[in-house]
Every structure is written in C-alpha cells, then in structure tokens.
Structure 1
Amino acid sequence: MNRSDRAPDGVFDQGELVDSLVQAAFVTMAVLTEVAGDNEVSLTQLRVFGILRDRRVGVTALANYLGLEKSTMTGLVGRAEKRGLLQRAPNPADGRAVDVFLTAAGAELVERVHGHIARTLAPMTDALGPAEQRRLDTLLRRVLDSGPS
C-alpha cells in the first residue's frame, strides 16, 4: 500500500494496522525459519523449545498448545529426546502424567537460538530507542494476551 492509498490524516485505518501486524509476522517467521534451519531443528521444534524454556509441560498440553495431534507431538518429542535436547519424566503432582522439559543441552540450544534471533532482528529493534522498545513490548504483550489462543 502506498501513502496515497492510506486514510486521510487524523483518520485511523484499521487495515494499516492489520497489514503491519501481518508484515511483522512474515519477517519474524522468516527469521525463525532461518534460525531453526541454521540450528538443525524444525520450526515446530523451535516452538516447542520456546514453550519449554521456563517450564515443564505434559505432552498432551504441549500438543494442544501447538494444535498438533498427541501422536505427532510424541514423535517430535522422541526425536528431540534422542538428540539429548528434551527429557520426559513423571509429573511430580500426578505420577500417571508425563512432563517434557529441556535438558542442559536443550537449554543451551535455546539460549544460542534466542541470541541468534535477537541479533537477526536487531536492525529492526535498534531502529527504536529504549523507551520505544519498552512501549512496543508492552503493546505487543497486551495484544497477545487478548488475542486468539
């Protein structure tokens, strides 16, 4: 969309916001896809590692969160477990349930990937000053908290 197609000054065009969100998502997904490939993991595995970064989660909950079948998630976890990145253990509160969590090698991979993502996105984020970065973070968190799950 070029400037002449935009709403007149003072009139907010919701379509522009949607376009900006979609474009930001495309750029972010391209970075995530590149970083995943550089680290020899799939984009779905990258998402799993991000979820498990600071918590233990059951296989079923993990599958539901990602919109995958439990059997698909079990295979994905099994492959990452064979690489030494994830581990399964009984849930401390419910011995029948099994939790999935990062191993030390998985946590190191997550930190390396996070740094790679930050460096790759830096040209975009560095275009904002510190106060703008904090404001963007606050706004994005609010949007994500109220969005579709």
Structure 2
Amino acid sequence: MKRTTSKKPPARGDGLTDALVPTAFVTMALLNKIGAENDLSLTLLRVLGILWDRRPRMTELADYLGLEKQTMSGLIARAEKRGLVARAANVADGRATDVFLTGEGAKLVQRLHAQMQASLAPLTSRLSAADQQLLQDLLERMLDGGER
C-alpha cells in the first residue's frame, strides 16, 4: 500500500523565519571569521560596534550585553591594554564610568566595517540598489526602538 503524505502549508510567518535565521547564521559566521582574523572575540566585536557612536556607562554596556559587571570589567581591561578603548568618569555622575573608543579603536572599527562590507558584498550585490535600500529600510524598521 502506497503511503501518501500531505504537506501542510507553512504557518503564517514561517517563511520569514526561514529566511531570517539562515541570514543571521551567515552574518554571524562572517563576524566570527573577521573577529578571528583580527584576534577579537565576538563579544569584543559587539562592544566595539556599540561604542562606535556612543559613550555608555560600564553598567549600561554590561546590561545591554547581558554580562556580569566583573566579566565586563575584564573584557574592557583587555581592550584597554590593546589601546582600543578607554574609561573616564561620567560627566553627570562622577561615580559612574563611561567607556569609549580610542583613536586606535575607531580606526579598527572602520577597518572591521570595511571588511564586513566586503564579506557581505557577494550576497548584497545580488540585489539591485533599490532592493538593497528597501531591505535596509525594512530591517531598520523591524529593529526600530531596540538597541543595536
């Protein structure tokens, strides 16, 4: 007797998930590769990316990354030894400590950004300029309101 199987149509939203998850995997693999090439952990890559356009307090940075204060302090101390970040007292609250990129750290972030653009180019170049802009707009809208 022949067995028949019926495929259920995907539940609403599954197609989007099925597109987003492998996209995230490819992006993470590229970030891991670039991090390894530059002797940077994925967490430190994230820190450098966060610091590109802001100067958060240590506690804010730790909370955002989901790290304990002690772990965050160790990570920042190692980045300081490499000359990538610095710490200073917060202007509004001298008891708090801000973290920011040094000039060397900013140069590294620019280089990492260029490496990521080059790594993603084989994928993004499959899209027209208009589609690239549309995808960017949609992703930004999807993440709007969330910290990046």
| Structure-2-length-normalised TM-score | 0.90
Q: Does structure 2 retain, via aligned residues, the 8 Å contact 1:58–1:98?
A: yes
Q: Does structure 2 retain, via aligned residues, the 8 Å contact 1:35–1:117?
A: yes
Q: What CA distance in whole angstroms lies between the structure 1 residues aligned with 2:147 and 2:102?
A: 31
Q: What CA distance in whole angstroms lies between the structure 2 residues aligned with 1:147 and 1:119?
A: 26
CA deviation vs aligned residue, 1:17-37 (integer Å, no higher than 9, x gap): 101100000000000000000
Shift of 1:130: 1.1
Aligned position for 2:106: 107
Larger Rg: 2
Runs of 4+ in 1 over 4 A off after TM superposition: 146-149
* 1:20–1:147 Cα change, 3 Å: farther
The equivalences for 1:119-134 within 5 A come to 119-134=118-133
Identity %: 54
Secondary structure of 2:15 counterpart: helix
| Structure-1-length-normalised TM-score | 0.89
CA RMSD of aligned residues (A): 2.1
Aligned position for 1:142: 141
Shift of 1:129: 1.1
* 1:95–1:147 Cα change, 3 Å: closer
Aligned position for 1:94: 93
CA deviation vs aligned residue, 1:81-110 (integer Å, no higher than 9, x gap): 011000000111111111000000000110
Shift of 1:147: 6.6
Unaligned runs of 5+ in 2: 1-6
Secondary structure of 2:54 counterpart: coil
The equivalences for 1:14-25 within 5 A come to 14-25=13-24
* 1:6–1:27 Cα change, 3 Å: farther
Unaligned runs of 5+ in 1: none
